[in-house]
Amino acid sequence: MTETHSTSRATEPVASGIPDGGPPVGEPRPGPFPWLTAELRGSWMETRTAKTLLLSVPGWTGHDPGQHVDIKLTAEDGYAAQRSYSIASASAQGWLQLTVETVSNGEVSPYLVETMDPGDKLQLRGPLGGWFRWTERLTEPALLVGGGSGIVPLMAMLRQRIQSGVATPFHLIYMARTPDHLFYANELYTLMQSHAGVTIDQLYSRSGLPDDSRPPGRLNLDDLPTPTAEPSAVAPRVYVCGPTGFVENAARLLQARGHQSDTIRTERFGPSGG
């Protein structure tokens, strides 16, 4: 199936999740986005402080990777709190995964990571965010630059690429503080070994592994490829995600490397990541 970006479809967007009959390349699933009830089915730790939650959501028709959900928790006394989390999984009907980092003194993340048990419920709405989004219909290579928990929506993009079977070249640059802070370590390793079109550069900012060729440190110009360095020599779509400081630094460096600003999409998680 070939796609060009200027194609306009005759059919109206359909929120059915059927890949070929779905919305055109440029349009996300339309609202409204009512609050849906989600139930925790399972969870596992990615690091000592971050957990992936597998949520069953009746009525959920899928999403485009990069999008997020708003989560709402309500206590028995009526108190409610709301936060946004990027979806970690590839698109699916009726379920999704989130990976949540515990924020010390946070209100919502400690509940999700430390308290919530299988069978417990929360409310969510989405998928939200049409800007920071990738779909398998996009044919340019993708350059993904993630810092810390910014890896989450980028992992959704990588998982979607694998699930959809497209051959789009993907290059992920993932900056973590230390090897103990890595999310999805085994899966990323396996993906890179088994998929020719996927390249992953693992960088560390505080401390790394003994035989690392790059010493640990903040992202710098040499860590980033030029627009024509990708195998196909086609300028990639760039997605940058992480804490605000990381994103601003990365975006600046990418432009210094020659990436045009209109090829770069960013999502800032704020100082602590959410």
The residue ranges that bind other proteins (CB under 8 A) are: 5, 8, 24-28, 30-33, 35, 37, 68, 70, 72-81, 84, 105, 111, 115-117, 120-123, 125-126, 128-132, 244-245, 265-272
Please state, in angstroms and rounded to a whole number, the distance separating the CA atoms of residues 54 and 57.
Answer: 10
Smallest distance from the beta carbon of 190 to other proteins, in angstroms? 30
User: What b/e sequence results for 38-60 when a residue is b if at least 16 CB atoms lie within 10 Å of its CB, and e otherwise?
Assistant: bebeebeebbebbbbbbbbbeeb
CB of 58 to other proteins, least distance (A): 12
CB of 135 to other proteins, least distance (A): 12
**Closer residue to other proteins, CB minimum distance, 45 or 81:** 81
Q: Which is nearer to other proteins, 191 or 253 (CB)?
A: 253
CA dist., res. 63 & res. 85, Å (int): 13
Pick 7 or 16: Cβ nearer other proteins? 7
- C-alpha pair distances (Å), 114 with each of 43, 44, 45, 47: 11, 11, 10, 13
Nearest distance, CB of residue 223 and other proteins, angstroms: 22
Q: Shortest distance, CB of residue 111 to other proteins, whole angstroms?
A: 5
Please report, as a single letter, which amino acid is at residue 121: K
| Rounded-to-integer distance, Cα 144 and Cα 127, Å | 20
Residue 47 CA to residue 61 CA, distance in Å, equals: 29
Smaller CB separation from other proteins, 111 or 174: 111
CB 247 within 8 A of CB 266: yes
Q: What three-state secondary structure class fits 200?
A: strand
Q: Which is nearer to other proteins, 10 or 233 (CB)?
A: 10
Q: Name the residue nearer to other proteins (CB basis): 37 or 226.
A: 37
CB of 271 to other proteins, least distance (A): 5
Q: Which of 198, 274, 213 shows the shortest CA–CA distance to 242?
A: 274
Closest to 35 in 3D by CA, of 73, 63, 76: 73
What is the CB neighbour count within 10 angstroms for residue 219? 21
Q: How far is the CB of 74 from other proteins (least distance, A)?
A: 4
Q: Residue 58 or 231: which CB sits closer to other proteins?
A: 58
